[in-house]
Amino acid sequence: MCGIIGYVGSREAKELLLSGLERLEYRGYDSAGIGLLEDDGLDFVRAVGNLDHLKAAAASNGSKSTTGVGHTRWATHGRVSDENAHPLSGCEEGEIAIVLNGIVENFLELKASLLAEGHTFTSETDAEIVTHLIERHYAGDLVDAVRAVYRKLQGHFAFVVIHQDHPGLLVGARLQCPLVVGVGDGEMFLASSIAAFLRETNRVQLIEDGEIVAITPAGASFISVENGVREREELRVDWDDESADRHGHESYMLKEIYEQPSAVARTIEKHVDGDELRLDGLGLTDDELVKVSRILMLACGTAYHAGVVGRYVVEEWARLPYEFDIASEWRYRKPVLSDGTLVLGITQSGETRDTVHALRLARELGARTLAMTNMQGTQVTREVDNVLYTRAGIETGVAATKTFTAQVALLYLLALKFAQVRGAMPEEEIARLLAEVRSLPEKMTAYLDGDHPIEEIAQRHYEKPFFLYLGRGVGLPICLEGALKLKEISYIPTEAYSAAEMKHGPIALLGEGSPVVCVATDSDVYEKTVSNIQEVRARGAEVIAVATDGNEDIQHHADDVIYVPRTDSLLQAALAVIPLQLLAYRIARLRGFNVDQPRNLAKTVTVE
């Protein structure tokens, strides 16, 4: 969950490292640091807090160094402190250092042996043992030392090493955590994400598990831990670095909320050719798709909520059984997979550890596996049979917004494809629904450009101690996502429940003036939802309803109504979530919080 960047080349490294860390800060912001190779050894600048603190600390550093590493930390082992901030050095402060993302699971055993040899530790982290192990094995060849250390480590990690004896050289390695090479002209990068160096180059080389990579200004060498040198092709990514800037918005999250029409439009365009559903990434012929007897969706967090939306459309449109589970729970059960099961894993980052491992397990059990992700070249793309990509662009805000709606849009297309090959709906109905899906970006834009009472609602409720979110049918996963947004960025305890189920407990939480947010868009359970609204109003709750344009009836049942454009009832999910994102956003801002860097969170969860 931490962010790593390294640079070797002819330019001054300090500003490149700080710029790269800015693009990685969503991965953690408990502390940050840089290490620069100077003429007299390594020089470090570290700071607790977000990157602004590091920039201030580094402002007076006039380094001309052209070799360096940087790190932004999300604390796992060891408290948030200067001593635990990376880069982490060894017994000699200026000789060697590492930046590491992940967890070394056998660090206590390794640390005991190093202490017995006389090594002195200065941090509480598990990562520092890597520096000392390299010291132990170093005999002039840094690559050989890293290879020897790699064999001793257990866990999941990626790290980069810098050494005073090797100007213009960085050595990295990875095991189940992200690390990628950026290829420039006379310069090279190592980073946790392509976003870190995308402003400088879109040429990349991928590092596999069990490989050591050594970069110099002339290029990268890939060395297997076991079998020697390997060749590696160079790839070009077609991302746009523009999405990594705020472009005048007060936060990344707000910018990304307003980017949803273009994110959804690009995702649809990639998978639809004219009026034809393409979905080439499926990698299955129509005959093979017909043989799929069940879909099992695995994901975590926001991606899980998007995946739950998938059940409603796949089962109704394609008449295909669709189950879902939380990846972290599924992988530790003894799951039963029947013949014909397609296991779908959704992860915007492509690195979510539990989802990646669940898909690996499904593949080992013989299932066909499909990933849905926003990021090329990530770990999940190497673990599955096939990949469908969303085209949301880089999402920097920790609270996901545009990647959620892009995932939902892609699930709509997947459901229509299965409906088509299974003959579950007439072609004209499929064409009508596809046209409705393609109109979603326009309707999102209309909503975002419209005038809505979100500010007034937020002003009345931002100091309330508790919110309840209710929905039925496809509105339920939208409530789950809306409630998650409020919890993530405003820190208000929030419960999301099926409106029909709230009588089985959560209604006891309500009192006079309790805010209840209800997704009440037009559907075949609208009347049932209204009945549930009346039940909470009878307990004194104040109801905020999200409803479909033109529905005047809802005004008789709710204290406030936020209207979204009319579309097919199941497609309302992609529209109804937007006011919930904006409501959470305004409440968090009124409470004075940094929505882009909510406390204790990181965007990419690469630890269990």
| Catalytically active residues, by annotation | 2, 603
| Pick from 575, 251, 353, 585: nearest CA to 444 | 575
Displacement of CA 66 from its chain's centroid (Å): 31
Amino acid at 320: L
| Pick from 100, 44, 106: nearest CA to 72 | 100
Displacement of CA 101 from its chain's centroid (Å): 16
Cβ atoms 538, 555 nearer than 8 A = no
Tally of CB atoms within 10 A around 249 = 14
Q: How many whole angstroms separate alpha carbon 399 and alpha carbon 403?
A: 10
Cβ atoms 302, 434 nearer than 8 A = no
Displacement of CA 520 from its chain's centroid (Å): 29
Lookup: tokens for 115:
């202490």
| Pick from 502, 497, 439, 467: nearest CA to 584 | 467
Q: How many whole angstroms separate alpha carbon 242 and alpha carbon 393?
A: 9
Amino acid at 391: R
Lookup: tokens for 343:
């296991």
Give the sign of the dihedral formed by CA 106, CA 111, CA 117, CA 122: positive
Q: How many whole angstroms separate alpha carbon 468 and alpha carbon 495?
A: 5
Q: How many whole angstroms separate alpha carbon 1 and alpha carbon 346?
A: 18
Tally of CB atoms within 10 A around 158 = 25
Amino acid at 34: I
Lookup: tokens for 459:
């002003």
Displacement of CA 330 from its chain's centroid (Å): 20
| Pick from 348, 352, 351, 350: nearest CA to 326 | 352
Q: How many whole angstroms separate alpha carbon 442 and alpha carbon 44?
A: 50
CA–CA distances in Å: residue 242 to residues 236, 256, 395: 17, 12, 11
Reduced to 3 states, what is the DSSP secondary structure of residue 131?
Answer: helix
Q: How many whole angstroms separate alpha carbon 558 and alpha carbon 566?
A: 19
Burial grade of 10 (CB within 10 A; 0-12, 13-18, 19 or more): exposed
Amino acid at 49: G
b/e map 355-381, b = 16+ CB within 10 Å: bbbbbbbbeeeebbbbbbbbbbbbbbb
> For 495, what's the count of Cα atoms within 13 Å in the CB-facing half-sphere?
17
Lookup: tokens for 291:
């043989």
Q: How many whole angstroms separate alpha carbon 327 and alpha carbon 321?
A: 18
